[in-house]
Amino acid sequence: MNVIEIKNLTKMYGKARGIENVSFNVEGGEIFGFIGPNGAGKSTTIRTLLSLIYPTSGSATIFGKDIITAAPEIKKDIGYLPSEVFYYDNMNVMDLLKYSASFYKKDCTKRIKELADIMELDLTKKIDDLSLGNKKKVGIVQGLLHEPKLIILDEPTSGLDPLMQQKFFDLLEKENKKGATILFSSHILSEVQRLCDRVAIIKDGRIVTVEKISTLKENTYKKFKIESNSKIDKSLFNIEGVNQIEQDGNTISFLFRGNLNLIMKKIAGIDVSNLWVEEPDLEEIFMHYYEKEE
């Protein structure tokens, strides 16, 4: 079952483009990545889904319910971490979190303590005295304290140090195993690759592709690097599917997409001293999608 269904969602800010005809679904139980560079439209899509802003046209459902008409009902089961968090500075952390928890029917005190423990957050501190990273942790606890069925995170890792990022990812994986669906926006591709099952790539307000991470990697280039005992004839690789050839001494490297036997036959004619065949990382795949569109 789809937890989120987005159909041709368009949001204009006056005459300026926010997002155009965005459509994709997020299935129940998956960790879904939403990637694109700054200004691509990730926050606009997320804010529209949460009814913080209204679409110009198009529609979307969450848990099968309309995002606008059923917004208050839907929100009870969503945990949201905005890209930037703002608080009343003179409250202490526990008071702020208790205040957030008061919007839900259940007692979240135990859960707040558990989460604060995992994220190493001091509940007695004043918000004003917290670093940016610690404020982000408050946002994380605030988003998860009611054990939501759907967790929506807008650029959640900015401000967290690598150790905390890891703890946070472990926490998300645990929530996912318990049944939570997660929508995770980011412009950092490695973290999406690590955590997500599928991704939607957005550029200039439009969805470029929606794919499984594994399919994205299979259908794209492989990276070849060949080392020989003598200089390799570069023209050997002037064939369809080969891109970005680079030669450095007796080493040649390139990206290839196509029938691998073609390349293997070419390599068979070389006195090979070493050979590397690697999957491109998501960053390279991403660039490829962007170039294709331009």
Among 15, 38, 230, 238, binds ligand ATP (CB under 6 A): 38
Q: Which CB sits closer to ligand ATP, 84 or 129?
A: 84
Give the nearest distance from C-beta 202 to ligand ATP in angstroms: 7
Site string (241-260) toward ligand ATP, x via CB under 6 A: --------------------
The one among 2, 83, 250, 251 contacting ligand ATP by CB under 6 A: 83
Q: Which stretch binds ligand ATP (CB under 6 A): 31-39, 68-76, 241-249, 262-270?
A: 31-39
d(CA 192, CA 286): 12
Q: Does 43 bind ligand ATP (CB under 6 A)?
A: yes
Give the range of 2-10, 39-47, 56-64, 171-179 binding ligand ATP by CB under 6 A. 39-47
Stretch that binds ligand ATP, among 11-19, 121-129, 246-254, 255-263 (CB under 6 A): 11-19
* Count of positions on this chain that bind ligand ATP (CB under 6 A): 14
Site for ligand ATP in 154-193 (CB under 6 A): 155, 187
| Sign of the dihedral through C-alpha 137, 142, 147, 153 | negative
- 131 near ligand ATP, judged by CB under 6 A: no
Of the pair 43, 220, the CB lying nearest ligand ATP is at: 43
| C-alpha R_g of the chain | 23
Of 6, 20, 22, 44, the residue at the interface with ligand ATP (CB under 6 A) is 44
Cα angle 10, 152, 26; round to 5: 65
Closest CB to ligand ATP among residues 40, 140 = 40
Q: Which is nearer to ligand ATP, 187 or 225 (CB)?
A: 187
The correct pick among 7, 8, 13, 215 for binding ligand ATP (CB under 6 A) is 13
15 binds ligand ATP (CB under 6 A): no
Task: Read off the amino acid at residue 205.
Answer: G
HEC assignment per residue over 58-73: EEEEECCEECCCCHHH
List interacting residues with ligand ATP (CB under 6 A): 13, 16, 18, 36, 38-44, 83, 155, 187
